[in-house]
Amino acid sequence: MARRGGCLINGCLTVLVLALVVVIGVMAWIGTRGWRYENQARDDLKASVDRTRAALARAAADGILLGTEIDRAVVGFTKSRPEVRRQARTVTVTMRLSASVGAWFVGAGDAAGCYRFETVPSAGSPSVSVREVPERTCLDRSPWPDRKPAEVADDVVVELRAAVARDGVEGAGTAHVWQTSGIRIEDRETVSGQLTTLAWLHGGTGFGSKVCYEFRVTQSSVTAELLKPDGCYRIERERYAQAEKARRAELEAGAENVERRMEDALDDGRLTDAEMQVALALPTPDGMGGETTGAPVDRLESVERSPTEVTVVARVQTVGAMWCYEFRAHLPTEAVTRHYLENGCSL
């Protein structure tokens, strides 16, 4: 019995030792993995610095460095809002970059730093230098204010002019400036060689505020105009109005056809139910449980009769539209008038 108890104790000790070895192994694995993540985070941070430097160099290769170009070069998920200062031809951008690798349950690595990029734009050979500055340079400064929408609009115009010079009006539609953070296209149209873009520029007064600008581009000019907020929906409203005009014209043609058919049925000064069925070309049973639909009326909503007048409300249908019309047949004069019901079939 004592021997059996000793085996039991030995077995428990063996299990505990094995569990301890596993725990130590897991902790060691996590520890070394965290060290590797730290190294990877530092490598990613260095790569981010290099990419930012290269992006600024590309943007400054035409001899100027616009605010919109800086925004595209430095604004990102791992980048803070930069401080931008201009002195003579030198543009200094100070910002905090960070990198994070891994996850909390398997270890993680983080790296961050404050960097100052000094760019001297030059056609073909810009100079971009970068150096790391104390962390407090980025942490202690007040948040750099957003640029004024009017300043952003001026930069957009400059970039669009360059795009037109390179690739014409079509090139302005795909210009890199539309990818700038804080610029969002609401609508766009091209008519007679002119590209019109309605876009929101974020900024102005109040948190999350934005203003609407209209940019017009032709082969010879680029202009920007500040609009009221509803101006960004102008193209949409015009597009809807044109579609509605075409729809009404199509319905009017169908209703006019109904009107003529009813006048033809009034030759004898009467309008019987049978004559109305033919005049309106109402759906009729097809003998297989369905209906055959004849243009231009889908359904008869109501009929009112008096000794001198028959008033019919019917759904006029065309290939692309359907709506309710009122038709008044004046029996003594054998005349028919039609009226588009603005509220539909609700009388």
pLDDT in 10s for each residue of the chain, 347 residues: 545 555 556 666 676 767 676 666 556 555 555 567 788 889 999 999 999 999 999 999 999 999 999 999 887 656 667 889 999 999 999 999 988 876 555 567 788 999 999 999 998 889 999 999 998 888 877 777 778 999 999 999 999 999 999 999 999 999 999 999 899 999 999 999 999 999 999 876 656 689 999 999 999 999 999 999 999 999 999 999 999 999 999 999 999 989 998 898 888 888 888 888 888 876 555 555 555 555 578 888 899 999 999 999 999 988 888 999 999 999 999 999 999 999 988 75
Angle separating helix axes 2-59 and 67-74, nearest 10 degrees: 160
Give the whole-angstrom CA distance, residue 37 versus residue 100: 8
Structure tokens that stand for 186 in this block: 């609401």
Q: What is the pLDDT of residues 239-257, one digit of tens each?
A: 999 999 999 999 999 999 8
pLDDT tens, residue by residue, 64-106: 999 999 999 887 656 667 889 999 999 999 999 988 876 555 5
302: three-class secondary structure by DSSP: strand
The label of the residue with tokens 């996850």 reads 103
Half-sphere exposure of residue 267: CA atoms within 13 angstroms, side-chain side: 6
Model pLDDT for residues 13-42, shown as the tens digit of each residue: 676 767 676 666 556 555 555 567 788 889
* 79 close to 93: Cβ distance less than 8 angstroms: no
Nearest partner of 229 among 254, 247, 206, judged by Cα: 206
Q: Report the Cα–Cα distance between both ends of the chain, in Å, rounded.
A: 100
Write down how long the chain is: 347
The domain locations on the chain are 30-138, 149-227, 243-340
The token duo for 3 is 């021997």
